[in-house]
Amino acid sequence: MAVYTHVSAEMMARFLDDYDTGELISFKGIAEGVENSNFLVETRGGQDGHRFILTLYEKRVDPGDLPFFMALLDHLAMRGCRVPRAIADRQGVQIRELAGRPACLIDFLEGISLSAPTPAQASAAGIALADLHLAVADFSGTRPNSMGLAAWRDLAERCAGQWQQIDSGLEQLVSTELSDLEAHWPGDLPQSVIHADLFPDNVLMLGDRVSGLIDFYFSCTDARAYDLAITHSAWCFSNDGRNFDTSLSDALLQGYRSRLALDDAETAALPILARGAALRFTLSRAYDWINTPADALVTRKDPMAFARRLAFYSDPANARLFA
Amino acid sequence: MAVYTHVSAEMMARFLDDYDTGELISFKGIAEGVENSNFLVETRGGQDGHRFILTLYEKRVDPGDLPFFMALLDHLAMRGCRVPRAIADRQGVQIRELAGRPACLIDFLEGISLSAPTPAQASAAGIALADLHLAVADFSGTRPNSMGLAAWRDLAERCAGQWQQIDSGLEQLVSTELSDLEAHWPGDLPQSVIHADLFPDNVLMLGDRVSGLIDFYFSCTDARAYDLAITHSAWCFSNDGRNFDTSLSDALLQGYRSRLALDDAETAALPILARGAALRFTLSRAYDWINTPADALVTRKDPMAFARRLAFYSDPANARLFA
C-alpha cells in the first residue's frame, strides 16, 4: 500500500508521448493494490479518455504473466464486464517499461471499495462473479494457480518453527486441515479462468451496483466453485473473522446462482472449497506476517482472521450454509 | 509520503453527508504532502465541484494553526491566487474531524509538480511567489515562523553527537554558519505572510503556467525576501545540491522582480538570507535523518543536498548572483 518506485512528472509526460491520451495535467502516487506502484494519471485533449491508473509491477507479479492478465481483461471488457483494460500505445503495445519496471497504463474506473458491504452489495458481487465466469467461457488463455492446493504444503513448511509467534493453536489447525484437504480435494469440478482474489477491496461499487472488478493479478485457471468459495470467505465475515453473517452469505450465493447454476458436485464441494480458501489466505498471511518486520509501514494482515474462518468452515454443522 | 490513517469509503461517504458535494464515486489514498494522510475524493451530483483532496492532519501540523492556514488560503483565493481552499460544510465549518484527526476537504487543483523545471517555469514560479506576497498585503493573520532563526540552534543541539553519521565536515559547517547568521541576520526587512516552503513539489504547473501553489503548512510571518531566498535554494540547484544553475536563478529572480521590486536592503540581504534558507533545510533534514530508521519506508531526504547549497551561498564570490 505504497509507492515503491519514484516516477517524476517529466518521465510520465514523456511516457505518454507514445499514447493518444493527450497532455498530462495531474499525476499522483496512490496507496493501493498488491505490491505494485500505482499512480493516478489525468490528461486532457486526447482521444483515449482522460483518467488512468499507471501500474509499475514490483516483485509479486511475474512479468511473464502480464500478457495473460492483459488478454483476460481485454476479453472481459469485450464481453461487457466492467474491468480496467490496459491502454495500447500508438504501436499497439500494452505492456511497456518505465523506471526499469514493467508498466501498464490502465483504465480508471469509478466506484468505491467497501469495508462493510450490505446483503444487496454482496448479491451484486455474486452476480458480477458469475458474469465473469460466464464471460470467460470462450477465453482461450490459461494460467496455473500458483497459490492453489499444490502450493500450500510448501508455504506451510516455509513457516515451520514460526507459528508460535502468531498463535499457539495455529500450527495444529493448519497441519490437520492441510492433510485433510490434500486427501479430499475435489479434482473434477467445472473449471475456467477465475479471479481468485475477489475481496471487497477488489470490487468497485456505486451504491448497490458493481462498477468495476479490479486487481486480477491472482487470476488463474481453477474450479469456478473455488472462486465462489474464496469470495464467500472474503465477504461474509467481520474483518477479524470472528463473526459470520448469514445474510451476506445467502445474498452472495443467491446472487451467483441467479446467473450461473452450480451442479450437484459443485454444491457438495463448497464446504471443502471454503476450507481451502480460508487455508490459502491463512498461509499467505502467516508467511507475510513472519517475513514482515513488525514496525514496517506496510500493515501486516492478521493470519488469525482467516484461521478463524478456517475453523468455522471446518465445523460440519456449518456445511449446511452452502446447501 | 504515505497514508497513515485508514479511512473506509463508508466513513468518507458519511463525512460527505454534511457537505453539498454530492455522492462519493471514488476515494483513493494518495502518497504525497508532508506527514499528513491525503485522499483523492471524487463526487457527482453536488453543487460544490466534484474533485477534492481530503487531508487528515497527523503529527507535524499543530491543529491550532489550521484556522490561520485556512483563512490564508481563503484570502489568497479571493485575491485571485490559485491555491486550494478548504470546502465548508453546510454549517460553514472548514476544519472537521475524521478518524480522530483534524480533517479538511480541500479543492483539487490540476497541474503537475516538476522534478527538473526549466527557466521559463522558474520565472513563472517567481511571478507566482511575488503575486502571493502582493495578495497578502491586506491579510491580517500572523503566525510566528517556527522554523526560523530562533529555532535553528535548538535544532542543531538536538543533532549533537550525531553529525558524524551524516558527514565528517557537517558539524563544523553548521556551527560556523549558525554563529555567523545569528550575528548578522537582518531584522528590519519588509515582512508579510510567506509560504516558506515553495519547493517545485509545491508548485503545480501546466506547461509553463503555474496552476496552483500548495502545501502552506509552513506559512508564517517573516521577511518576504527570505521567502524568495528559500525558493531560490529550492529551485536553482540539482537535487543533490552539487550543481547550481545560473539560468534558473536569473529567471526566478527576474520573475519575482517583474511583479514586486526588492528594495536595496532586501537585495543586499539576499546572500545571507539564502545561507539561512540552506541552513534551515540542512538542519531539519539532519534532524529527520538522525531520527528516521534507515530501513523505514519513508525516504529520508539527504541533508547534504542542502549543506552543499549552504557552502555555495557562503562563498562571497557567489553573492553577485543576487545583485
Query: A257-311: per-residue pLDDT in tens?
Result: 999 999 999 999 999 999 999 999 999 999 999 987 666 556 678 999 999 999 9
Q: In Å, how far are A89, A167, B323 from B316, measured between CA atoms? A: 52, 65, 12
Assess contact for B276 and B184: CB atoms under 8 A. no
B189 and B137, same structural domain? yes
Q: Using N-to-C axis directions, what is the helix angle for A66-78 and A119-135, rounded to 10°?
A: 100
B147 and B133, same structural domain? yes
Give the gap in angstroms from C-alpha A32 to the nearest C-alpha of chain B.
7
pLDDT tens by residue, B181-204: 999 999 999 999 999 999 999 999
pLDDT given for residue A158 in this prediction: 94
Sheet containing A51-56: give its strands across.
A96-98, A101-107, A51-56, A37-45, A22-30, B22-30, B37-45, B51-56, B101-107, B96-98
| Cβ contacts of A26 on chain B, cutoff 8 Å | 110-112
Last residue of a domain, one of B108, B125, B145: B108
Sheet containing A203-206: give its strands across.
A112-113, A203-206, A209-213
Residues B171-177: what's their mean pLDDT?
97
- Minimal-distance CA residue of chain B relative to A205: B25
CATH of the domain at B34: 3.30.200.20
Which helix (H) or strand (E) element contains residue B232?
helix B224-235
Q: Is B8's CB within 8 Å of A115's CB?
A: yes
Q: In the structure, what pLDDT confidence band is assigned to residue B2 with cuts at 50, 70 and 90?
A: low
A89 and A164, same structural domain? no
pLDDT tens by residue, A169-192: 999 999 999 999 999 999 999 999
pLDDT given for residue B60 in this prediction: 81
DSSP B85: P
3-state helix, strand, coil in chain A (%, to 5): 45, 15, 40
Nearest residue to A145 (alpha-carbon basis) of A180, A196, A83: A196
A3 within some domain: no
Which residues have a Cβ under 8 Å from the Cβ of A321 and sit 6 or more positions away?
A246, A249
Which helix (H) or strand (E) element contains residue A193?
strand A191-194
Q: Is B40's CB within 8 Å of A42's CB?
A: no
Q: Is A25's CB within 8 Å of B111's CB?
A: yes
Q: In Å, how far are A119, A200, A251 from A209, measured between CA atoms? A: 12, 13, 14
A257 and A216, same structural domain? yes
B60 within some domain: yes
Nine-digit cell string for A237 = 465475515
Is the pLDDT score of B323 beyond 90?
Answer: no
A2 within some domain: no
Q: Is A112's CB within 8 Å of B27's CB?
A: yes
Dihedral angle sign, alpha carbons of residues B277, B278, B279, B284: positive
Last residue of a domain, one of B79, B108, B137: B108
CATH of the domain at A252: 3.90.1200.10
Quick check: helix, strand or coil at residue A255? helix
Give the gap in angstroms from C-alpha B294 to the nearest C-alpha of chain A.
12
Residues B290-306: what's their mean pLDDT?
79
Query: How far is the C-alpha of B305 from the C-alpha of A117, rounded, in Å?
Result: 49
Query: How far is the C-alpha of A103 from the C-alpha of A12, rounded, in Å?
Result: 11
* Total of domains in chain A: 2
pLDDT tens by residue, A120-174: 999 999 999 999 999 999 999 999 999 999 999 999 999 999 999 999 999 999 9
pLDDT tens by residue, A70-110: 999 999 999 999 999 999 999 999 999 999 999 999 999 99
A292 within some domain: yes
A120 and A46, same structural domain? no
B307 within some domain: yes
Assess contact for B227 and B256: CB atoms under 8 A. no
Closest Cβ–Cβ partner in A3, A110, A295 for B26: A110
A209 within some domain: yes
Q: Is B29's CB within 8 Å of A28's CB?
A: no
Nine-digit cell string for A131 = 458474469
Amino acid letter, A44: R
Q: Which domain holds residue B45?
A: 9-108
A307 and A167, same structural domain? yes
A178 and A59, same structural domain? no
ipTM attached to this prediction:
0.88
Q: Is B111's CB within 8 Å of A298's CB?
A: no
A1 within some domain: no
Last residue of a domain, one of A91, A108, A125: A108
B246 and B142, same structural domain? yes
Query: How far is the C-alpha of B313 from the C-alpha of B177, rounded, in Å?
Result: 11
| Cβ contacts of A206 on chain B, cutoff 8 Å | 23, 25
3-state secondary structure B30-50: ECCCCCCEEEEEEEEECCCCC
A156 and A33, same structural domain? no
Query: How far is the C-alpha of B151 from the C-alpha of B129, rounded, in Å?
Result: 24
A293 and A178, same structural domain? yes
pLDDT tens by residue, B273-286: 999 999 999 999 99
pLDDT given for residue A295 in this prediction: 61
pLDDT given for residue B295 in this prediction: 61
Give the gap in angstroms from C-alpha B199 to the nearest C-alpha of chain A.
14
A4 within some domain: no
Residues B258-270: what's their mean pLDDT?
97
Nine-digit cell string for A301 = 494482515
Length of chain B: 323
Query: How far is the C-alpha of A68 from the C-alpha of B278, rounded, in Å?
Result: 51
Is the pLDDT score of B297 beyond 60?
Answer: no
A118 and A190, same structural domain? yes
Is the pLDDT score of A48 beyond 90?
Answer: no
A146 and A85, same structural domain? no
How much is the CA Rg of chain A, to the nearest whole Å? 20
Nine-digit cell string for B315 = 562563498
Q: Is A1's CB within 8 Å of B29's CB?
A: yes
Closest Cβ–Cβ partner in A10, A31, A113 for B30: A31
pLDDT tens by residue, A51-66: 999 999 988 889 999 9
Which residues have a Cβ under 8 Å from the Cβ of B159 and sit 6 or more positions away?
B283, B286, B287, B290
Nine-digit cell string for B75 = 484570502
Quick check: helix, strand or coil at residue B52? strand
Nine-digit cell string for B241 = 545540491
Q: Are strands B112-113 and B203-206 parallel, antiparallel or unpaired?
A: antiparallel
